[in-house]
Amino acid sequence: MSLRRFFIHPTDITGKTAILTGSEAHHLRTVLRLTPGAPITFFDGTGTRYQARIEQILKDRVTATIIEQTRDLEPKVCLHLGQALLKGQKMDLILQKATELGVNAIWPFSSEHGIHKPQRETQLDRWQRIVLEACKQCDRAKPPEIHDTREITDLMAHPPPCDMRLIFWEHETRQTLHEALAAQDKDCRSAFFLLGPEGGFSENEVACAQKEGFTPVSLGPRILRAETATLTATAILQFSLGNLDPIQPKIHEEIPCAPLSKG
């Protein structure tokens, strides 16, 4: 059985001692009802994972001893997902699954055939909570960066620095993803790919993307739902670029076990 995982801020770790507070401590104590001596896992959001043992459970905090540290290795190719805003819980699904699939950064955008509404601070906070929960589920030590929502034309004109730029378009009939990947330099270390809204990209948006160095590619003859297209494209890219190859986390430090404290 996998260990229970909790998010902890790096400042709450001093030497071998970790102090868990807030909602995570409440969940450990009240919901999971863990007890002193139980093994648990912490991740601090920077890529470090801590194997620990609960020492003391109080009303406002949980104290644990760190036994071992590991750090996730960087992927062979960093993936930046440009995602059109979607309706309802579809955006939540994409954030969750993109996190599980190992996307490094998510860039939400509004587009001609998609949703146009200002981003609320509460929305970004909610998205952050979704990816943190997904990290705990899939044992990922560093969550993807979620950027502020932008207009698609602005995002295409000022994309993150990447070696490869792709735009998935259902009306592309010539260029396949396989051909686009085969044409890339073998030293490609980062890729930025765009997925559209339920209404798809407009021809003007695709033309603009091409001017900015994006390659239009197809996902096949079928019309996929927006969320299906995103998850399909992400999984195919991760596999094709070698990011789904099995790897072991790098051991950063092994710490001798300390005796269980009393009380």
pLDDT, residue 258, reads: 45
For 205-239, give one letter per residue: b (16+ CB within 10 A) or e: bbebbeeeebbbbbbeeeebebbebbbbbbeebbe
Does 261 reside within a domain?
no
pLDDT reading at 241 higher than 50: yes
Please tell me the distance from the alpha carbon of residue 94 to that of residue 261, in angstroms, as a whole number: 43
Residue-wise pLDDT tens digits, 172-193? 888 888 888 888 767 889 999 9
User: Do both 37 and 140 map to the same domain?
Assistant: no
pLDDT reading at 21 higher than 50: yes
User: Do both 35 and 142 map to the same domain?
Assistant: no
Q: Compute φ and ψ for 11, nearest 5 degrees.
A: -70, -10
User: Do both 88 and 175 map to the same domain?
Assistant: yes
| Whole-number percent of the chain with pLDDT over 90 | 69
Does 259 reside within a domain?
no
Does 262 reside within a domain?
no
User: Do both 162 and 111 map to the same domain?
Assistant: yes
Does 11 reside within a domain?
yes
Which of 164, 168, 185 lies closest to 176, judged by CA?
Answer: 168
User: Do both 123 and 198 map to the same domain?
Assistant: yes
Which of 20, 86, 257, 197 lies closest to 4, judged by CA?
Answer: 20
Q: Are 120 and 162 in contact (CB under 8 A)?
A: no
In which domain, by residue range, is 216 found? 78-240
Residue-wise pLDDT tens digits, 25-34? 999 999 999 9
Does 158 reside within a domain?
yes
Does 24 reside within a domain?
yes
Mean pLDDT, residues 106-122 taken together: 81
